[in-house]
Amino acid sequence: MGNVFKLIRNWLSSQPDDDAENVTHLDQSSCISTDPPVYSWDNKSEVETNQLRLNHLNELYIFRNIVYQGQQFKIENCLRSLILVTGFFDSIFVDDCKDCKIILGPVKGSIFLRNCSHCVIVAACGQLRTRDCTDVTCYLLCATQPSIEMSSLMKFQCISLDYLGLHGHLANARLNSIIVNRWSDVFDFTPTSLETNWKCLAIEDRFEDNLNEEELIYCTDHQIVFDRTLSALPFDHPMVPVNRNSYAASAAPIVWDNSENFCNLLASSLILKKR
């Protein structure tokens, strides 16, 4: 009996498999893609990428009204230039710039200043971070504490700014309902024992004082103004008591962030006025 089963098994194994003839053997190497994955943010056109970056400007005046709103923007390696960028943004990086004057539209998230020197910045943002910067002056609306790291000779002042569309840009960046402008509440990650790395500018200091006549005309031609009486954002300074009635119609109502020195500063202010 064992021999019979053995003969049957040998006969079956020698028969061709009809199903096997219909099987297509795939080359596994052809099924594995060697192309890198493609993400939605990689599909930006060259035109769009160029719209979201300014670099290697040298002694130029440039105005850019951003078409692609609410995205990241970069300013890199610019020298002695006046840069005006309007719109609203998710975040902005300013890297390796020197002797530049930069006016930015509202930023919902963070502005990062890195390795910049002798620059003046005008901006409204959720957060400001600086690293390896020297002698940078910032005119700010900031929803959180401005933070500096490995930076020196930093100067801060409240923003005064208006241009066509700014109110809408503030709303889109969610900066139109800020309760406290914390521009003067600077946090230093790397303080030194010898001297402070930052200071608040006096009331009299205005951004337009940093512009020459030609630069001021260029800003005016693009309907960008810095006059405090015309600003879309109220002026806030420890030396000036707040006029709360002025905030009712403001795009970004701001109230005092009380400090220990407020009474002394106010008293000094009154003495100066009497003189």
- Residue 95: other Cβ atoms inside 10 A: 17
Spacing of C-alpha 47 from chain mean position: 21
- How far apart are the C-alpha atoms of 126 and 142, rounded to whole Å? 6
Checking if the pLDDT of 274 tops 80, the result is no
What are the domain boundaries of the chain? 45-274
Residue 252's pLDDT band, with cuts at 50, 70 and 90, is very low
Residue 17: Cβ-neighbour burial (10 angstroms; 0-12, 13-18, 19+): exposed
pLDDT more than 90, % of the chain: 61
- How far apart are the C-alpha atoms of 208 and 85, rounded to whole Å? 17
Checking if the pLDDT of 179 tops 70, the result is yes
Q: What is the pLDDT of residue 67?
A: 87
Checking if the pLDDT of 111 tops 70, the result is yes
- How far apart are the C-alpha atoms of 15 and 17, rounded to whole Å? 7
The DSSP letter of residue 245 is G
Checking if the pLDDT of 128 tops 80, the result is yes
Mean local confidence (pLDDT), 188-197: 89
Checking if the pLDDT of 45 tops 90, the result is no
Q: Pick the closest to residue 81 from 121, 132, 131 (CA basis).
A: 121
- How far apart are the C-alpha atoms of 138 and 207, rounded to whole Å? 9
| Inter-residue contact 86 to 105 (CB < 8 Å) | yes
Class of CATH domain 45-274? mainly beta
Q: What is the pLDDT of residue 25?
A: 53
Tell me the pLDDT tens digit for each residue of 25-36: 545 555 555 666
Q: Pick the closest to residue 101 from 148, 147, 139, 52 (CA basis).
A: 139
